Copies of this chain bind each other. A is one copy, B any other.
Amino acid sequence: MERKGDIEERIERGMSEALLSGRRKIINNTSSQLAIVGSNICPIQSLDYEIIENDLLKQDWRSRRKVEIYQYVVLKWTLALLIGLITGIVGFLNNIGVENISGLKVLLTNNLMQQQKYEEAFAMYVGCNMILAVGAAALCAYIAPAAAGSGIPEVKAYLNGIDAHSILAPSTLFVKIFGSILGVGAGFVVGKEGPMVHTGACIANLLGQGGSTKYGLTWKWLRYFKNDRDRRDLITCGAAAGVAAAFRAPVGGVLFALEEATSWWRSALLWRTFFTNAVVAVVLRALIQFCEEGGGQCGLFGKGGLIMFDVNSAKPAYTTPDLLAVILFLGVIGGLMGSLYNYLIDKLLRTYSIINEKGPIFKILLVMIISFLTSCIRFGLPLLSKCVPCPGECPAPPTANFHDCPPNHYNDLSSLFFTTNDDAIRNLFIDGQNTGFQLSTLIIFFVSIYLLGIVTYGVAIPSGLFIPVILAGASYGRLIGTMLAPYTVLDTGLFALLGAASFLGGTMRMTVSLCVILLELTNNLLMLPLVMLVLLISKSVADSFNKGVYDQIMRLKGLPYMEAHAEPYMRNLVAGDVVSGPLFTFCGVEKVGNIVHALKVTSHHGFPVIDEPPLTYAPQLCGLVLRSHLLVLLLKHKTLFTREKVMTTSTVTNKFKANDFAKPGLGRGIRVDDLDISKEEMEMFVDLHPITNTSPYTVVETMSLAKAALLFREVGLRHLLVVPKTPGRPPIVGILTRHDFMPEYILGLFPHLNHQ
């Protein structure tokens, strides 16, 4: 009964407050309107997936002829094709670049080593790495700070509806591609997969927004894609294509986009993504064949090529004790290690961001320190390892004669350290009969790679997380496999694969997509049940400690991600509780001066429009008008201003072109300061009806916040209007936006919920 009372009291309170413009209106949501992206503070915006049903759109719909719909469909698929094509080519060139740079570096160093000039060799190695690292860092620090890091969190946030400045800008694309080549070439323990996802998304965005006006590359006929919904679809395709190009795993790419990247998904999109990735697969295959057939055309790009760790032909045979060992040692401990990895990355990122904020020079210095550390470890640690006899054939020179190994001997630690990351993974996955690693080798490698991976992420270079985690996981798995070798029939190479799976599950927390990516990488479908089991266990274990690494980074960057599930305490709050004020509303026909004032003093992106007497019988909600539309109206359509407060609608819609109001590309909207309105015009009126969305989504103020959040998230809204429960009050209570659903804001308003 007390509870019923609560609700009633709440309704009454809401009523009186709204009527008296009382306490509620003072609530002002100032929570994170700013986000730190690449340690640059910049304003973020929400994307809007709602269908803006105003007269303009309706006119546009009606006027679209069949041929235009056909055009749209053809264009949609053409863009999907182009995304696949370009991402495939970029992925291939990325590989060629990395392979050739690394190859050249090893060649130079090796020449010096064969002449016994170890100091010179070391200097050459460190120097090469340093130059490449500084190049990558300089690109990141000066041209596009948003290109640092993995890029997957940013893409995930974008697909959730968060538009942070320059996340998908052309400069970011440029730096992401070349920074990634230089960074991976510099021998850092970073991968190119995250950057490739970001690259794919940038390419898709660039194609979708009709090129870049800044660089003079635009296509006017891309107007169909000038809205958030179609751009979202394109960028999803791009993200999927990125994974496909990085791992050569087309199906895995589709699933990655589906499981990790997107927040909304449609069956039609599945198909389009699949098409894009088929294109990527075909392009990659053709280019690789071209390289192979053409002999030396691609320089040192040889067998290494795109990662495809198809090296283990061992048939998985296992018994029940093996299964238990796998579950316990790999699943559980892998999960623990994975969550520890996330925890350490989080701590380190906070430290690094302090350094990075001090300026570009500090960023580059940090990169130089890490580069030097990495070079020392890669060159120096193999000294600790003894030379062992070659298993059958001896590996190629730098590994074989590293630090004076006798003939038919080689240094197994250098076969992991003194090579590219891809080759190291390949060596770890090789089946146990063909090669063996000493226990000490594996321990040294595991510990150093685990730590190097953590300290490297967060410096100002494009850095993927997949490869460091796979490296650490595979060495851990191989270590366990070698230790258990006397007791198990399961191949040590397969242990390495399962170890990689367990670490990936522990950090990234994906399931189906990781499973398929690993299977596509290793081409061993018979491992499926074991990989599934290990992934499930490590994810479950890790989930009980912290969140996935991408979610953590997203939170660290202050991106207001809408979770699919509402927090439990949201069930006890109603929509009216969190609605913020003061609320600015416009009349159906509003004075220009009022509009300009409202645009200047607030940063709201949507304003309710209310029709009032004498235009209507009683105040009624006409709809919602967007800031961007208002700005276009005030800037480009001054002829519509009237001296009297009258509706001009019947003559107006013909004067607009829908394209005027199409969403512009990133950072290219009109700003309030661009307006140039005379004093006389300020006193005039303008009819807002033609640009007002007359059917915005509304919820009643007594709806629980959990239910409102569900609607907000499922339909992909930017503004959700809250209407009063009882009649006779102003027709709108407030507007809910993404920020009103953020836990930080809610818990700030109602601190007692924190202790529940």
Contact = CB atoms under 8 A, between A and B. Distances in A.
Interface of A: 1, 3-5, 7, 51, 53, 55, 58-59, 61-62, 69, 250-251, 254-255, 258-259, 265-268, 270-271, 274-275, 277-278, 281-282, 285, 511-512, 515-516, 519-520, 523, 525-526, 528-529, 532-533, 536, 539, 564-565, 568, 571-572, 616-621, 649-651, 653-654, 694-695, 697-700, 702-704, 706-707, 710-711, 714-715, 725-728, 731
25 contacts: A1-B651, A1-B653, A1-B654, A4-B55, A4-B649, A51-B707, A53-B707, A61-B571, A62-B572, A250-B528, A267-B564, A271-B539, A274-B512, A277-B532, A281-B528, A282-B533, A519-B525, A523-B526, A618-B726, A620-B727, A694-B703, A695-B699, A695-B700, A710-B715, A714-B714
Contact of A51 (B55, B267, B710, B726): B710
Contacts of A711: 697, 711, 715
Contacts of A4: 55, 649-650, 653
Contact of A5 (B51, B650, B731): B650
Nearest to A265: B265
B536 A650 contact: no
- Binding site of A, secondary structure by majority: helix, strand, loop or mixed? helix
B282 A529 contact: yes
B516 A251 contact: yes
Given A4-B649, A53-B704, A259-B270, 5 more contacts: A1-B650, A61-B571, A254-B512, A278-B532, A617-B726
A564 B651 contact: no
What 4 pairs between A and B have smallest CB-CB spacing? Answer: A695-B703, A278-B532, A281-B529, A1-B650
Contact of A529 (B285, B619, B695): B285
Nearest to A698: B698
B278 A529 contact: yes
Nearest to A63: B3
A634 to B, nearest CB: 21
Contacts of A654: 1
A404 to B, nearest CB: 41
A702 B710 contact: no
A523 B62 CA distance: 51
A515 to B, nearest CB: 6
A533 B528 CA distance: 25
Contacts of A250: 528-529, 532
A5 B254 CA distance: 47
B707 A536 contact: no
B617 A727 contact: yes
Contacts of A251: 512, 515-516, 519, 528
Contact of A270 (B512, B526, B536, B702): B512
A653 B649 CA distance: 52
A304 to B, nearest CB: 19
